[in-house]
Amino acid sequence: MTDTIETASTENAEELYDITIIGGGPVGLFGAFYSGLRQLKTKIIDSLPELGGQLNALYPEKYIFDMPGFPKVLARDLANQMIEQGTRFQPTVCLDEKVLHLTQNADETITLTTNSGTHHTKTMIIATGAGAFSPTKLNNESLESFEGNGVFYFVKDKTQFQGKHLLIIGGGDSALDWAMNLEEVAEKITLVHRRDVFRAHEESVDWLLNRSSVDVKLWCELKTVEGEGHIERATIVNSKTQEEETLPVHAVLLNLGFKADIGPLRDWGIELHGTKKVVVNSLMETNIAGVYAAGDIAHYEGKLDLIATGVGEICLAVNRAKTHIDPKAKLFPGHSSNLSL
């Protein structure tokens, strides 16, 4: 899908845009669509080489269950649909660009400096998710030589587990979601968790323990993986009894979470909640005039990090940006069904 998107050239770098959205994930894409409804000249800047955010970059083969209108949908399919929707009004798209600096100008416009040049905008919306991600790795020397060759931290192609004995490490939503996604792909799945309490949705835990074919090993940790050229077996140890067990294993999927980094954003003068979130009010405004935030990066009391809530937040941000640019404009123009599209 992204192959058909025309990315920006240096020729239009000096143009002044109404809205620049930092982040080309699902929230940023819906913001571009909605700003098109409001006839705002829009630009998307993303540090990744393709649109779609985490849906494409981290787990394109994972099913999403909590997106309204989709009982379940593959992340890559949802990304493609949102890319099609988000580019409907032909926003300028700048990929593989990381925003480094934000400058407020005397005329109240904003200049954004990236690793590739400068961009000029009347308003901007930060929709970067939780920032740049790197997987949390297990401190285990035996894993290092098999990384990318049997040891995985995320899944981009489910077929690589076809007919294999898969060992999943973790007890959160990602570990359980992948166990569910891969149950019919792998020949056998063993899930190892170091405790007996899961950090996952209740329905997922009930499925894992009572309705799945997954072999669950609680109070266990991975000791070693071994094999000649590829993984052949893994040894786990029970932390309570110290009993060891060796399992025939062809692949190991570690779901230990990701470390997020908001990068240069922390130096832009924007008020932060902790070190990873941007503080916003009920209209998604930050402490800097004309700068808004939406999606996982935004923080307010009662915040819920879901795509479903993020797309609502960015609509608020777009509407507020519209009235910032044109004080006579309506904050809420009506439903899209009332418009001629």
Looking at beta carbons, which pairs linking 110-118 to residues 24 or more positions away fall under 8 Å? Answer: 110/20, 110/290, 110/291, 112/20, 112/22, 112/45, 114/45, 117/10, 117/13, 118/13, 118/14
pLDDT at 89: 96
pLDDT at 341: 54
d(CA 190, CA 235): 12
Nearest by Cα to 170 from 138, 139, 134: 138
The answer to whether 282 and 261 have CB atoms below 8 angstroms apart is: no
pLDDT at 340: 53
Give Dmax over CA atoms of the chain in angstroms: 72
- Predicted TM-score (pTM) of the model is 0.77
pLDDT at 150: 93
The answer to whether 155 and 74 have CB atoms below 8 angstroms apart is: no
Summarised one tens digit per residue, pLDDT across range 187-197 is: 999 999 999 99
Summarised one tens digit per residue, pLDDT across range 135-155 is: 888 889 999 889 888 999 888
Beta-carbon count within 10 A of 162 CB: 11
pLDDT at 8: 60
pLDDT at 4: 47
Q: What angle do CA 232, 238, 243 make, to 5 degrees?
A: 80
Please list the ranges in the chain whose pLDDT falls under 70: 1-13, 133, 336-341
pLDDT at 36: 96
